[in-house]
Amino acid sequence: MALPSADIANPQEEIIAAAEKLLVDEGPLKATVRAITQLAGVNVGAINYHFGSRDGLMAVICAKHMHDSNEDMMARLSSLAVTEGHESVKHIFEPVVQTAFAVWLRDDVLRGLRNFLFVDRKLVYKLDVSEMSQVYELMQDALREACPGLSAQEVRRRFRFAMGAIMQEVRSHDENRASEAGDAVVADLLDFVAGGFVHWVDSGRNGKPGED
């Protein structure tokens, strides 16, 4: 395996900076191994040497940009006093929805990574699982407690639908991020995703589907 150029003081940082610039300025289609290494001033083997693969590099970049917000979400979720009900479901989703609009939408690098959805869905899935797994685990644990009428399988299924709706709403604002999503959008989205869990209301008590 070829070693990176010896005259660069910190090739890892140069590679990360080059990949971030390409993601922001050109989009994921242009963030190829050759383009990244050329911009970073290292040889083509440097990405595999330092990160294992381009996907490994993207995982490092994703972790870098999501670390602080993920720590904040986990702290908020861990401190929740979960009770049964629709309002509690909204509180469980509140950290991720607020973070989506306050952080993810405003971060140009994360926007570039989101756009891999149109280029490499498998990479998006790997990034999502690797960087959000602890947050998702805490959320689903809390949702099972808030919705005792739903099986673990039903919680997972509805959670997947809810997260899809949240990310679709974030993507819908990507082209016009200058306009604030606003508290009303956040509130409406929380009501919408929590609505997917309302059947717990009666089903956990008398076996009948609940009504909103």
Domains of the chain by residue range? 11-51, 66-206
Q: Of 31, 20, 3, 11, which Cα lies nearest the Cα of 108?
A: 20
CB neighbours of 37 closer than 8 A, spacing ≥ 6?
A: 15, 18, 43, 44, 46, 47
Class of domain 66-206: mainly alpha
The domain 11-51 having CATH identifier 1.10.3470: the answer here is no
pLDDT per residue, tens digit, the chain (212 aa), is: 444 454 567 899 999 999 999 999 999 999 999 999 999 999 999 999 999 999 999 999 999 999 999 999 999 999 999 999 889 999 999 999 999 988 888 899 999 998 887 888 888 888 888 889 999 999 999 999 999 989 999 999 999 999 999 988 888 887 665 445 578 889 999 999 999 887 554 444 444 444 43
Q: What is the pTM of this model?
A: 0.82
Q: Hey, what amino acid is at 88?
A: S
Rounded to an integer, what distance in angstroms lies between the CA atom of residue 94 and that of residue 187?
Answer: 9
Domain 11-51 matches domain 66-206 at the CATH topology level? no
Count the alpha carbons within 13 Å of 49 in the hemisphere toward its beta carbon.
15
Residue 24 has phi, psi (to 5 degrees) of -75, -45
